[in-house]
Amino acid sequence: MNIIWHGQSFFEISTKDIENKELKITIDPFDKSLGLKLPKTEAQILLITHEHSDHSNKKAINGSPFLIEDPGEYEVKGVHIKGIQGFHDDSQGKEKGKVVFYVIETEDMKICHLSDIGQKELTPEQIEEIGDIDILMIPVGGVYTIDAKQASNIISQIEPKIVIPMHYQIPKLSLKLDSLDQFLKEIGSQKIEPQKKFKVKASDIPKEIMQVVVFEIY
């Protein structure tokens, strides 16, 4: 499996379908208002966590992807996807609305994307639905979502093997968010060398010490 981050909460996951053919999943493509370069990409599956413009630019994805934008369980070409109801704020969505967390099962690994979660902590029901996670994509930049300290608390609730921070301040971003360094300091991690692409298979998943993966903008 290969994972690429384009900034904000926009990820590309290249995996294999039930026939062992390449299958691409894209999550939360942004629009040009963010000030970031919008890549040309296509996918077979498109996940939208909520309808804010920096997460729901469906026209940015070429091809005719299978669109998922609601809670529920889905099976697409051998990839199992679960959408779980979450909230953009800590008031049950009364301020900023609802979001969908996604758990993706493929190649004997489980990936969780937490959207623009604004909850200070997950509910017991959400933790149960999310289950054991190998790779967690979590916002850390505060302002519109959880900050570094809250992200650290939620990581402790989920206990993933690998953490990929997202939704933080990067060059050219038109929003003002907290820096990645604040999150790394909060979790006691040293500065990490960014990579363009994260290649991982089930046998690479760490057994004991949590790994943090940081991306260059691809």
CA distance 108 to 19: 15
User: By the 8 A CB rule, do 82 and 73 touch?
Assistant: yes
Both tokens assigned to 200: 């991982």
Name the CATH code of domain 2-197 (choices 1.20.120.10, 3.20.20.70, 2.40.40.20, 3.60.15.10).
Answer: 3.60.15.10
The mean pLDDT of 58-65, rounded to a whole number, is 94
DSSP 165-194: EES---TT-SS----HHHHHHHTTPPP---
Question: pLDDT tens digits, residue range 130-175?
Answer: 999 999 999 999 988 999 999 999 999 999 999 999 999 999 999 8
Q: Residues 30-33: contacts with CB within 8 Å, 24+ apart?
A: 30/6, 30/54, 30/55, 30/57, 30/60, 31/57, 31/60, 33/174
Question: pLDDT tens digits, residue range 93-118?
Answer: 777 789 999 999 999 999 999 999 99
> Above 80 in pLDDT, residue 217?
no
User: By the 8 A CB rule, do 29 and 60 touch?
Assistant: yes
Mean pLDDT of the chain: 93
CA distance 42 to 61: 5
pLDDT score, position 116: 92
Both tokens assigned to 46: 């498109």
Run of H or E including 136: strand 135-139
Domain-wise residue ranges, the chain: 2-197
Roughly how many angstroms between the first and final C-alpha of the chain, as a whole number? 16
CA distance 76 to 67: 10
